[in-house]
Amino acid sequence: MKIEFRAPGFLLLLLVVVLLLQIRSMVSTTPINCTDTTRLCTSFLAFKPKANQTLAVIKSMFDVLPGDVTVEGSDGGRGHVFVRKNCSCAEGIKQYVTNTTFTVRSGQGLVYDLVAGAYDGLAMLPNTSRVARYGAVVSLRLFCGCSSGLWNYLMSYVLEDGDTVESLASRFGVSMDSIERVNGIENPDNVTAGSLYYIPLDSVPGNPYPLKADVPHSTPAPAPSIGDLAENQVNHKAHAPYIWIVGSLGLVLALIVISIVIYVSLRSSRCFNKARRGHPKDSESQKSSLGTDVFEMEKPVVFTYEDIFSSTDGFSDSNVLGNGTYGSVYYGLLRDQEVAIKRMTATKTKEFMAEMKVLCKVHHTNLVELIGYAATDDELFLIYEYAQKGSLRSHLHDPQSKGHTSLSWIMRVQIALDAARGLEYIHEHTKTHYVHRDIKTSNILLDSTFRAKISDFGLAKLIGKPTDGESTTTKVVGTFGYLAPEYLSDGRATAKSDVYAFGVVLFEIISGKEATIRTEGLKNPERRSLVSIMLAALKNCPDSLSMSSMKDYIDPNMMDLYPHDCLFKMAVLAKSCVEDDPMLRPDMKQVVISLSQILLSSVEWEATLAGTSQVFSGLVQGR
């Protein structure tokens, strides 16, 4: 009998412990309620990276740029990094949140557990018990806050063991009273580890992230270097004389400096080798004609004509990927890497140099990457990363005839968001801002996982700072159907010109139709712009419940498998992008925020299908 009572007693005790742990892990994060859904602010999230979470991983987890990540203390401090994110009042839940995506890197466990483990209390976890699928992309929300005006920023911070209101106040240079007021804390001794609190800030927290080291100072490197080995030896022999330690570190530093000098020398010699076509004089002629000194950062790799010729099977017709205004694009296998090679005549030096200047300075996951170039007396070649799925255009307009299946609604929204992020980057986040001037579906390329990259920067123009009006008068170039009214009338190229073209792309994504449509008439067939057709349809469509007038203009390839409210929101966003007055158009930052919210709502809609629909894809289709 004793055994019978002890076993249940032990199980009961175990159950209590488990419940307590569950309660602690669920100690909840209370979102900040809001009412103004147009409110947008800058917020920060305090995040403690794990050993394998490098800057690249942090950027991916939070969908931010390197400049948005700062580190605590000059030497990494307690190991926290601070991530800057736009925070907004989410429609529907009326709470402050910011959107991001999480890529599943492990095929084991539940999505819920993976997300909870990755973000440590910062994420509003998806209500799902789905098993994680490697490579799937989870759209989710992170807790953030907008200040009421007493402070400049609010920072989301998950309390750790040993943290108190007093220690936080001292650590971040704020008053205890302000922390208590923001979080509604009545008793400062009654705070719980694992819960999320908001820290009011008057200035940006932390110091610039140490970009030369891909991990925070407090995070161990994934592989030991010479310096690490030396440091380990010091740790294991703490009793060694001080002079020996200093001498060892000096030797290590000297070796590192010598290694860097050798590496830079080798890299420079490779980058400055000039392309040749069998004539020794070509090197000098190319050096003077291309002006290699115009590039302000690391030069692209220079290939020989023979490299290009052999990689494309002698420019075989079977290797042609497409033909454009400025040349043909070929598929190539160059040094065991798949590439796309643009072949141009030497008369197109201006366009060639434009792409080189932009893509040598600008690097972003949603911009096609320039690998290198080659040049001869007669021809110029640009070598890019290869986009396995081709252009967005080929997937929207009669995709079956090109051997493609139709894009699902989720894939369309994700592609639009990717392209918007690429445009936002060149408009706002580069050292010198650019306007693309030729945004269209054929210049949005898709990689093997259907992630979008903007290409073809041959028409890109430098634009001034916002105080200069961000405009430059130039010859009108681009593709009809995508050209903004003010650009057509007076040649003013602005960031808002790109926004107009992007609005046309959104209408194409919704309708599956070309930017200009030929109307079939008995006598005088003419071409109408897709913009005019879609705007006319939207006039009779006041909300998502009255979309009958738009039904004929929604891509039938989607087979009515899309959330009507999300499609309507994208149509309204496209409409705002193509306003005649450029001042009324949103900037790309606002477009990115809107598309992020549409994607999140679309994923939630897809989740309600519970796997019963042919569009159900686990999380986000096409990953």
**Cβ neighbours around 382 below 10 Å, total:** 28
Tell whether residue 342 is among the known ligand binding residues: yes
Is 438 catalytic? The answer is yes
pLDDT band for position 83 (cuts 50, 70, 90): very high
Given 68, 282, 307, 438, the catalytic residue? 438
Distance separating alpha carbons of residues 480 and 623, to the nearest angstrom: 33
Handedness of CA 223, 108, 59, 28 (dihedral sign): negative
- The pLDDT tens digits of the residues spanning 88-105 come to 888 778 888 888 888 777
More confident position, 171 or 462: 171
pLDDT band for position 128 (cuts 50, 70, 90): low
* Chain centroid offset of residue 621 CA: 18
Cα-Cα end-to-end distance for the chain: 58
pLDDT of 506 over the 70 cut: yes
More confident position, 223 or 571: 571
- The pLDDT tens digits of the residues spanning 68-82 come to 888 887 554 458 999
pLDDT of 531 over the 60 cut: yes
Mean pLDDT of the chain: 76
Distance separating alpha carbons of residues 125 and 366, to the nearest angstrom: 27
pLDDT band for position 454 (cuts 50, 70, 90): very high
pLDDT of 367 over the 50 cut: yes
Confidence (pLDDT) at 358: 81
Q: Which residues pair with 101 in a beta bridge?
A: 139
**Cβ neighbours around 579 below 10 Å, total:** 17
Give the amino acid at 284: E
More confident position, 268 or 455: 455
**Nearest Cα residue to 368 out of 457, 459, 439, 454:** 454
By CB atoms closer than 10 A (0-12, 13-18, 19+), residue 513 is middle
Distance separating alpha carbons of residues 457 and 461, to the nearest angstrom: 9
Distance separating alpha carbons of residues 467 and 81, to the nearest angstrom: 33
pLDDT of 3 over the 50 cut: no
How far is residue 38 from each of residues 59, 86, 178, 457, 602, measured CA to CA in Å?
26, 12, 26, 34, 20
Give the amino acid at 209: Y
Handedness of CA 466, 467, 469, 471 (dihedral sign): negative
- The pLDDT tens digits of the residues spanning 465-480 come to 443 444 555 566 778 8
Worst-scoring range by mean pLDDT, 249-253, 272-276, 585-589? 272-276
Put simply, whether the predicted model's pTM sits higher than 0.85 gets the answer no
**Nearest Cα residue to 570 out of 607, 601, 533, 613:** 601
Q: Which residue has the tokens 């070598």?
A: 383
Distance separating alpha carbons of residues 312 and 13, to the nearest angstrom: 70
Residues 191 and 184: beta-carbon distance below 8 Å: no
574-582 average pLDDT score: 94
568-592 average pLDDT score: 94
pLDDT of 23 over the 60 cut: no
Cβ neighbors of 243 (< 8 A, separation 6 or more) are: none
Confidence (pLDDT) at 133: 72
Percent of the chain with pLDDT over 70: 71
Confidence (pLDDT) at 475: 62
Distance separating alpha carbons of residues 442 and 394, to the nearest angstrom: 8
pLDDT of 400 over the 70 cut: yes
Count the alpha carbons within 13 Å of 422 in the hemisphere toward its beta carbon.
Answer: 29
Residue 154 phi/psi, 5° resolution? -120, 140
Distance separating alpha carbons of residues 515 and 532, to the nearest angstrom: 10
pLDDT of 497 over the 90 cut: yes
**Token pair of 321, please?**
């990927």
The CA radius of gyration of the chain, in Å to the nearest whole number, is 28
